[in-house]
Amino acid sequence: NAGVTQTPKFQVLKTGQSMTLQCAQDMNHEYMSWYRQDPGMGLRLIHYSVGAGITDQGEVPNGYNVSRSTTEDFPLRLLSAAPSQTSVYFCASSYRGHTEAFFGQGTRLTVV
Amino acid sequence: DQQVKQNSPSLSVQEGRISILNCDYTNSMFDYFLWYKKYPAEGPTFLISISSIKDKNEDGRFTVFLNKSAKHLSLHIVPSQPGDSAVYFCAASEGTGANNLFFGTGTRLTVIP
């Protein structure tokens, strides 16, 4: 089992560019989420999904888009990157009804 | 406004002694509380949790205490080991489902050999 796999691990973007952060899990978890971690802020929820075809917004959704076409994959799209989106992004997954989440290793994104 | 707060950014403890990490929350609707441990360049890993119907949960060297009236929880690590050196995040949720966790800002624990 690979668990939760995020790619890429590092990325530098120019302001205005778009990109997709990939997240895949092989544990057949129903729930998947994206968080961002900023210095002094802890982790904050961007978007989440409770199953294929179902997504919803978290605390800080602006500038990001998600879709969930399969149980395994939950990509996060940055539509037009801004320096304020410089952060470390974590994808997480869990079973329905379980509060324990499994996290990927993170993607460190820098927008210049 | 931060709903989950960890007011101590760092803590240093001697090996073998007790480490106590604290966490406060403001939302009285939270009913599940978790602690995560994070090493550099890795994702957070689940450590221990407690539901609001309990006031204590133990797992080996780790014990979490919940004081609902004070909206406070703490993580005790006894005895502390150098491998425990990491950043510890407190998290809370309303209902089950890890899709809506609110995290504190973390406490960096250093266990001195």
Nearest to B34 among A41, A100, A104 (CB): A100
Q: What is the pLDDT of residue B2?
A: 84
Residue of A nearest to B8 (CA): A40
Q: What is the CA radius of gyration of chain A?
A: 13
Q: What is the pLDDT of residue B98?
A: 66
Nearest to B44 among A41, A94, A103 (CB): A103
- Cβ distance of B99 and A33 shorter than 8 Å: yes
Host H or E run for residue B35: strand B32-38
Q: What is the pLDDT of residue A96?
A: 87
- 10-residue block means of pLDDT along chain B (113 residues)? 92 98 96 94 94 96 97 98 97 81 95 97
A18-41 as b/e, with b when 16 or more CB fall inside 10 Å? eeebebbbeeebbbbbbbbbeeee
Q: What is the pLDDT of residue A33?
A: 94
Using a CB-CB distance cutoff of 8 angstroms, which residues of chain B are in contact with residue A43? Answer: 44, 89, 91, 101, 103
CB-based contact (8 Å) between A4 and chain B?
Answer: yes
Using a CB-CB distance cutoff of 8 angstroms, which residues of chain B are in contact with residue A50? Answer: 97, 99
Q: What is the pLDDT of residue A1?
A: 64
pLDDT digit string, tens, across residues A23-44: 999 999 999 999 999 988 889 9
pLDDT digit string, tens, across residues A91-108: 999 998 887 899 999 999
- Cβ distance of A33 and B93 shorter than 8 Å: no
Using a CB-CB distance cutoff of 8 angstroms, which residues of chain A are in contact with residue B89? Answer: 42-43
Q: What angle do CA A54, A58, A63 make, to 5 degrees?
A: 95
Contact between A33 and A48 (Cβ < 8 Å): yes
Alpha helices for chain A (secondary structure H)? none
Q: What is the pLDDT of residue A15?
A: 98
Identify each DSSP E strand in chain A by its residue range: 4-7, 10-13, 19-25, 31-38, 42-51, 54-57, 64-66, 76-78, 87-94, 102-103, 107-111
CB-based contact (8 Å) between A52 and chain B?
Answer: no
